[in-house]
A and B are shown apart, each in its own frame.
Chain A
């Protein structure tokens, strides 16, 4: 095989996300003729960039000899800039891009590539401006991957500014490019686009856009090295299926997602997802099964080593555990908050996604609600609601509103919850939500604290004092006292009596 052929093969492997194989093609190229030898150096560094930017920087530093060849100087500087950007050295990146500009020789393709990288750097620096002229230049690139990627990063800028319709529009344009040049675009970039579109569109009930994304998703040939992207797409598809009312399909997709999940944290997430769908469909036994598996799996996760979105599994777990085991829920929340927001990689797509913060507030609301900390719960739910509402994240907004309805008892929140949930009238959760709201706002419950409400319901579930103590993170003595207070309130003397009273009143 000639050096040229080897280079082409390696490029193709990089494009299709087979990085190991690409690296295997790029060994012993020192004796190659120029410019293949220089290109091999750079290509190897580029492959490494997908795994670890520091490895890429090291490889670039070692191959600075290639700078003697004027033809590859631009590529060298551009790649260095990318590596600096990915390793969060933004000043270094800007410097490299300036050098690249000097070496570009006024070639339009190089200008476009450079403009894309500069636009991307802006995003990393939290400078969200979808009207950045760099995007316009990038979109003139002859390389479909650059055009596609530019659109994706611009879409994230839109979402960071709560402009979700514009985000969807950009992502659809990006995927159109992918469909147009299936053999030229980078799989990694496409996968990111698919995932982003699935998520954005499903939350906004933009079925057309979702179907678009699904078509592209199904046309892709996945590489095991892109398992995370595949996982995220499957998960987003599952979520869409659930919102559209196909819970069974959601469960299959979540199961498929779990099969390809690249980490324990993501596997935890899969179980939580499945448990959630089961619960929304009133299959509590299934929900418990999944939750227990999630809990078991969570023990093997080193949370501090997880990246931003993976880490959300903790929040999801906390929310699901809030009604089962308060102590456990609290532990998950505190683990999450302990790690802090600073550790979220700014180069991630979610870096400027406010909805991530919304989840945390929502989880905190759930925990506080069950603990009976009405004020804290209200503040947390309100903050979460505000974020979700602004994000047109109807499903979550409905949940936050429901939480507020339960905590405050105000009918306005019931209304809002219904409105948001109305965006997904077919989903299991719509019914679940409306059921729950109607129960929780029946007059009998008005005089009770949230803790007492939960306690009453848990009592009717048949939990004994020890289980209640665990669920509410209170001593058995306190539980005993609280239970007695409840009995006094309803003038009953046993769980069964309480149950029949509640049934009579239509609460259960």
Chain B
């Protein structure tokens, strides 16, 4: 730009030199000679020139001036200037007058907006004549305006944008340093110099450099180019530094957001892939083992569908929290989508896949409280380990995934291992848990029936269904051993369903064989009542088996937590005509209010009271109190564990309605009930 201006100035000087030359001629050369010469000079000059005589008449006008005046020499010569109405003719007359009077030239530039042109006007006296030079300086003016404009914009940019502009010489001394970033952001010359001297030096060999620097809390992005002298040799470096701290922070924030699952605040699938590759690499380098566990909530869809998405989301949130707590703090927990979670960790002596699986299942043992309901949730887990099951992140994930699906297929709420060394390595409890899944399909469950009799007549009025598991390896396993596992894993639900179905079938059979009032009693756990569809399930089973509702009793324990779901389920069951009995009554010293709240038809006095009642007067007193309490609530009373005649007499004193126990019969197989010859009183 400086060069352009210099050229412009040179041309201008030349122009006025020419003008001076013409004036010189006009002054010195004799008129005749002058005419000839000046014509040629006039035409050779690039500017518009016209000459006005002492009576303000046009005497000469060159081609360019004709153009600027939109007229021709033929039209103009001889006419008075004030008769040619134009900004470059008539309007100049006052100036021409002044020039002639003062003999001082006048110069000014005029803008013509309609044509967007600038004309530089110079009015110069020459004896009696006046010479007017007109020069179209639009290009220069426009360039000037552009320059001014771009300078203003640059200044604006430097003022508004947190940027630095600097130059250094070859000795790394700053030769200029401007920009708002210096003051506003506390970024100083020294810091830039110290931090990145080497990178700037590299520019001296001719390459441009881009790099970022971090200093006292600010991120700067630098672009450095070699600074060249007039001959093209490198004389230093010129750099622009942009404060990108906010940009960085925003980008980081976005990156974090992109890698975080909004619902559970766990890292999501993107983060998983990144981190997994990283972990596999590290494991490879450090020869460590990795475990990958795929955790999938069972029946999540059902929960979502029946309780709504909000409840589903809440469950995922709570589950995420539990899962995170359940596993080693070093482990990475991700939500990979839907109800799928992935746990990834380094395996070591204290961390093995089965242990983690057990921890996860344990975390699910307690019910979730969602939408004021109690939910028991189980999860299927698939596991794979590095390097045994796969060498790449991808492989490990897909193996763990398929293991999880296998686990799911073989019955929910269990763990599947990918190609893991064998059942022997898994603990007994875990194996039991695994086997529990197969118990129903393999027909390993059976029911025994503990007859219930009329306490007075000892006539058979019902039976309590008792579950037994005939394990293929371990033989018969008692409910105490596996019910807890079934409850923890949620397997209790299908098991209870099976029991209900079997028991109802048996009851129908017996009722049809001369015991029309026969009732079968089935024990249900709190977990069963947490199932929102329990009432529907039972209704379906009754319909399926043909047992009227009055033929079924459901036994719950006194210490069972009764939440709103359970209560509602009980009420709807009771309204169906199904009787609900509190088992083991008296043990937990139930509050009266608790019992009143529930739609209970009967209580079963715990066997311990009956057992001890024969000897201990205090126990007798307690039993009497319990019975009085039950009576006041208008409840039927059943005595269990009646083993002796004395005990039977005692319960008769208490006027219990029904009784069960070895005194009448031990538990029998289905089909044996009818053949019992019950001992009469």
Binding site for B on A (CB under 8 A): 246-249, 251-252, 255, 277-278, 281, 283, 285-286, 288-289, 291-293, 296, 428
Contact = CB atoms under 8 A, between A and B. Distances in A.
A247 B90 contact: yes
B93 interface: yes
Contact of B85 (A255, A281, A288, A292): A281
Contact of A289 (B83, B87, B93, B94): B87
A252 B86 CA distance: 11
B90 A251 contact: yes
A288 B94 contact: no
Contacts of A288: 113-114
Given A247-B90, A252-B94, A255-B91, A278 B114 contact: no
Contact of A252 (B70, B83, B91, B112): B91
Contacts of B93: 248, 252
Contact of B113 (A252, A277, A296): A296
Contacts of B85: 247-248, 251, 277-278, 281, 283, 286, 428
A291 B112 CA distance: 11
A249 B87 contact: no
B101 interface: no
B86 A292 contact: no
B82 A248 contact: yes
Interface residues of B, number: 15
B472 interface: no
A289 B91 contact: no
B115 interface: yes
Interface in B61-90: 70, 81-83, 85-87, 90
Contacts of B114: 285, 288-289, 291-292
12 contacts: A246-B82, A248-B83, A248-B90, A248-B93, A249-B82, A251-B91, A252-B94, A285-B70, A288-B113, A288-B114, A289-B112, A289-B115
Nearest to B117: A289
Contact of A286 (B81, B83, B87, B94): B87
A246 B81 CA distance: 12
A289 B113 contact: yes
A36 B83 CA distance: 59
Contacts of B81: 248
A462 to B, nearest CB: 15
Nearest to B94: A252
A463 to B, nearest CB: 14
Contacts of A248: 81-83, 85, 90-91, 93
Given A249-B82, A277-B85, A285-B112, 20 more contacts: A248-B83, A248-B91, A248-B93, A251-B85, A252-B91, A252-B93, A255-B91, A278-B85, A283-B85, A283-B86, A286-B85, A286-B87, A288-B114, A289-B112, A289-B113, A289-B115, A291-B114, A292-B113, A292-B114, A428-B85
A247 B87 CA distance: 12
A255 B87 CA distance: 11
B113 A285 contact: no
Contacts of A278: 85
A12 to B, nearest CB: 33
A253 to B, nearest CB: 10
B119 to A, nearest CB: 11
Nearest to A249: B82
B101 to A, nearest CB: 16
B59 to A, nearest CB: 18
Nearest to A281: B85
Interface string B103-144: 000000000111100000000000000000000000000000
A293 B87 CA distance: 14
Contacts of B70: 283, 285
A173 to B, nearest CB: 33
Contacts of A286: 85-87
A293 B81 CA distance: 24
Contacts of A255: 91
Nearest to A254: B91
Q: Name, among A246, A255, A285, the residue most crowded by chain B CB atoms within 10 Å (CB to CB).
A: A285
Contacts of A428: 85
A289 B86 CA distance: 11
Contacts of A277: 85
Nearest to B116: A292
Nearest to B114: A288
A283 B112 CA distance: 13
Contacts of B94: 252
Contacts of A293: 113
A296 B111 CA distance: 13
Contacts of A246: 82
Contacts of A283: 70, 85-86
Nearest to A251: B91
Contacts of B90: 247-248, 251
A285 B91 contact: no
A296 B90 CA distance: 24
Contacts of B82: 246, 248-249
A378 B40 CA distance: 59
Q: Give the top 10 A-B pairs by smallest Cβ distance, nearest first.
A: A248-B82, A248-B90, A288-B114, A292-B113, A281-B85, A289-B114, A289-B112, A247-B85, A252-B94, A251-B91
Contacts of A296: 113
Residue of A251, A255, A281 contacting most chain B CB atoms (<10 Å): A251
B100 to A, nearest CB: 16
B477 to A, nearest CB: 91
Contacts of B91: 248, 251-252, 255
Contacts of B113: 288-289, 292-293, 296
Nearest to A428: B85
Nearest to A252: B94
Nearest to B110: A289
B532 to A, nearest CB: 67
Interface in B572-614: none
A296 B87 CA distance: 19
B309 to A, nearest CB: 53
A247 B114 CA distance: 21
Which of B81, B94, B115: most chain A Cβ within 10 A? B94
B93 to A, nearest CB: 6
B108 to A, nearest CB: 13
A428 B94 CA distance: 21
Q: Which of B85, B113, B115 has the most CB of A within 10 A?
A: B85
Contacts of A292: 113-114
A281 B85 CA distance: 7
B526 to A, nearest CB: 79
Contacts of B87: 286, 289
Residue of B83, B90, B93 ringed by the most chain A CB atoms within 10 A = B90
A502 to B, nearest CB: 22
A292 B116 CA distance: 11
A281 B93 CA distance: 17
Contacts of A285: 70, 112, 114-115
Contacts of A281: 85
A288 B112 CA distance: 9
Interface string B193-236: 00000000000000000000000000000000000000000000
A76 to B, nearest CB: 49
A246 B80 CA distance: 12
A428 B85 CA distance: 11
A251 B91 CA distance: 7
A249 B85 CA distance: 10
B640 to A, nearest CB: 97
A483 to B, nearest CB: 24
A251 B86 CA distance: 9
Interface string B150-174: 0000000000000000000000000
